[in-house]
A and B are shown apart, each in its own frame.
Chain A
Amino acid sequence: DQQVKQNSPSLSVQEGRISILNCDYTNSMFDYFLWYKKYPAEGPTFLISISSIKDKNEDGRFTVFLNKSAKHLSLHIVPSQPGDSAVYFCAASGAGANSKLTFGKGITLSVRP
């Protein structure tokens, strides 16, 4: 029972273009959503988050959009850089950013120079 779904396993974009990573969830009790980035042989690193009371949160090149009615969120990276190549995990919590997280399977982003 996947409560957080990342249906596209991989994405390849050209350097300088926009990367859009999608995530869907099924549990309406989730109220906080996070994106983590993972390089090989390292643990996941927090990237950006959004509370369910917002529909957009921006941090530099990274913007997360939340559509509660559709139970969908997306991460936009503009402009994409080769160093952004990594696995991106969408995660959700029912009790804030610092509580138990439910993760999606991840999406591998490749940014071509």
Chain B
Amino acid sequence: DTGVSQDPRHKITKRGQNVTFRCDPISEHNRLYWYRQTLGQGPEFLTYFQNEAQLEKSRLLSDRFSAERPKGSFSTLEIQRTEQGDSAMYLCASSLVQGVDSPLHFGNGTRLTVT
């Protein structure tokens, strides 16, 4: 169990630029989640996949955000035309649906700073 891996750990970008983050879940996990955390807040749900299907998207996920999980393994989260309000920690988590008490395992996140 190598854990959930996220890349990059930090990203600084200028307003208006596009950014893409990658998440590699725990290998046998079939669900993958994206969350966003801002200062002083708990993680907020953005979207999740079961295998390659995107099953739910939060209303927080504007049209500028898109997530993919093309082969049911790793996932990418892209933010187009970044805004300063996008500055946050983006967390990925994975879980195994078959386990009743299998909680979400989180990666260490990608910290995005939009200048």
Contact = CB atoms under 8 A, between A and B. Distances in A.
Contacts of A49: 101, 103
Contacts of B31: 98
Contacts of A99: 95
B99 A42 contact: no
Contacts of B91: 43-44
A104 B107 CA distance: 19
Interface residues of B, number: 27
Nearest to B44: A103
Contacts of B41: 105-106
Contact of A100 (B45, B99, B102, B108): B45
B33 A96 contact: no
B43 A98 contact: no
Interface in B72-115: 91, 93, 95-97, 99-109
Contacts, number: 60
B48 A103 contact: no
Nearest to B45: A100
A43 B108 contact: yes
Interface string A1-15: 000101000000000
28 contacts: A34-B103, A41-B108, A42-B108, A43-B93, A44-B43, A44-B91, A44-B106, A49-B103, A89-B42, A89-B43, A96-B100, A97-B99, A97-B102, A97-B103, A97-B104, A98-B100, A98-B102, A100-B33, A100-B45, A100-B48, A100-B56, A101-B43, A101-B45, A102-B45, A103-B42, A104-B42, A105-B40, A105-B41
Give the 3 A-B residue pairs with the shortest CB-CB distance, closest first: A103-B42, A43-B106, A98-B95
